[in-house]
Structure 1
Amino acid sequence: MTSEDLIATLSRDLRPVPRHALLRRVGLGLGLGVLATLIAVGGLLGYRPDLVIAMHGAVFWIKSAYTISLAACATVAMLRLSRPDGRVGGWLVAMLVPVLGLAAIALGELAMTPRADWLAMWLGASWTVCSRNVFLLAVPIFAGLLWSVRRLAPTRLVLAGTVAGMAAGAWGATLYCLHCPETSALFVLTWYTLGMAGMAALGAIMGPRALRW
């Protein structure tokens, strides 16, 4: 068999991939995971009673902007890594922007707060459960993203898993804002980020196992 015959045989029954198939598949997995997490927030943790009032303040949107921007960057990077020739470009570096921005806000908070109150501002009232909650709330989203990506064609499995975990963690943290009443940027920078990093670490471990094709 010549090379031309082999190519013709392999390509004989190929069907064109529908346009935007990647976006639809990832969107489905992400949407199902977000829905499951949203139900978990409402059913297990409960929405904060002053949510409507909080949404009229800057603090709620600073937290949300931080987590959503990280989620967006990680999700785009994951989409690019879902292809065999996927390159993340500058999307991972772009994630430093919200981190540095929130760090600057946290430094401003420290500068305006008496030193004796720094520890209370850092720990808040829920530091013992915050990172754990963010991690656990991200699990359904992570499962949905793994389901989506494993049917595609990633080749950098550790990185793809890490980015999928980071995306899941950031979306989970975004939904956790609906429950969490903490207002300190230093708190969010520490404990929210720790939960997201934990999910990214799980993604690095699971990537080679769950995304192999």
Structure 2
Amino acid sequence: MQTEDLIRALASDARPVPRHAVECRVGIGLASGGIVTLAAIAAALGFRPDLGVAMQAFPFWMKWAYTLSLGIGAIAATLHLARPDAARAPWLWLLALPFGLLLAAAVSELIRTPVDGWQRLWLGHSWTRCSMLVASLSVPLFAGLLWAFRRLAPTRLRLAGAMAGLASGACSATLYGLHCPEASATFVLTWYTLGMVLATLSGALIGPRFLRW
């Protein structure tokens, strides 16, 4: 059989792929995982009782702006890396911008606070469990993304796994904010970020094993 004939034979049963098939599948995976994570927060942790009041204040939206911007950036990177022809993405450095902005807010916060109040800003009341909860609650979201990748064809497996982990961790941190009353920029910069880093590292380690096709 000639090469051209083989190609035509292999392509004869190919079906057209919907234009936004990747986005839809990743969206379904994230939404499914998000529902499980939200249900786990509601059942095991509960929502903060002053949530309605908190949502009217700047610190709540500062925290959400940080986690949501990281989540959106990581999801965009995940969508890019889900394709087999994904080239190097030089714009990934933009993911450092939310961290830099929150770092500036944390430094300003510390400057305005007497030194004897720094520990309270940094540790809050839940530093011992915050990072692990963010990382643990990201598992359903990461599982949803793994399900989505089963029908996709990533080739840069470790980076794709890391970005999927960051997307899961950032979405998890956003939902966890519905429970967590901590509002200090210093606290969020340290312990929320650590939880997202743990999710990212886990994705980088697990990704190559489960994303291989």
Tell me, in whole angstroms, the C-alpha distance in 1 between the residues paired with 2:59 and 2:91: 26
Corresponding residue for residue 208 of structure 2: 208
Corresponding residue for residue 130 of structure 1: 130
Structure 1 SS opposite 2:13 = coil
Corresponding residue for residue 80 of structure 1: 80
Identity %: 56
Corresponding residue for residue 102 of structure 2: 102
Give the TM-score taking structure 2 as reference length. Answer: 0.98
| Greater Cα shift, 84-93 or 156-165 | 84-93
Pairwise CA distance, 1:88:
5.5
Pairwise CA distance, 1:41:
1.0
Deviations 1:83-107 (A, max 9, x none): 0111362442111111000000000
Tell me, in whole angstroms, the C-alpha distance in 1 between the residues paired with 2:128 and 2:170: 19
1:168 matches 2:168: yes
Amino acid at match of 1:35: I
Within a 5 Å distance, the mapping from 1:134-213 to structure 2 comes to: 134-213=134-213
Within a 5 Å distance, the mapping from 1:15-26 to structure 2 comes to: 15-26=15-26
1:38 matches 2:38: yes
Contact in 2 for aligned 1:80/1:88 (Cα 8 Å): no
Contact in 2 for aligned 1:76/1:91 (Cα 8 Å): no
Tell me, in whole angstroms, the C-alpha distance in 2 between the residues paired with 1:41 and 1:75: 22
> What's the Cα RMSD here?
0.9
Amino acid at match of 1:168: S
Deviations 1:159-200 (A, max 9, x none): 000000000000000000000000110100000000000011
Deviations 1:34-72 (A, max 9, x none): 111111111110000000000000000000000000000
Tell me, in whole angstroms, the C-alpha distance in 2 between the residues paired with 1:90 and 1:63: 26
Contact in 2 for aligned 1:77/1:88 (Cα 8 Å): no
Structure 1 SS opposite 2:138 = helix
Q: Where do 5+ consecutive residues of structure 2 fail to align?
A: none
Tell me, in whole angstroms, the C-alpha distance in 1 between the residues paired with 2:20 and 2:103: 37
Tell me, in whole angstroms, the C-alpha distance in 1 between the residues paired with 2:91 and 2:137: 24
Tell me, in whole angstroms, the C-alpha distance in 1 between the residues paired with 2:88 and 2:116: 43
Structure 2 SS opposite 1:9 = helix
1:3 matches 2:9: no
Pairwise CA distance, 1:19:
2.2
1:63 matches 2:63: yes
Count how many residue pairs are aligned between Structure 1 and Structure 2: 213
Corresponding residue for residue 93 of structure 1: 93
Runs of 4+ in 1 over 6 A off after TM superposition: none
Tell me, in whole angstroms, the C-alpha distance in 2 between the residues paired with 1:24 and 1:118: 45
Give the TM-score taking structure 1 as reference length. Answer: 0.98
Pairwise CA distance, 1:151:
1.4
Contact in 2 for aligned 1:80/1:86 (Cα 8 Å): yes
Contact in 2 for aligned 1:157/1:211 (Cα 8 Å): yes
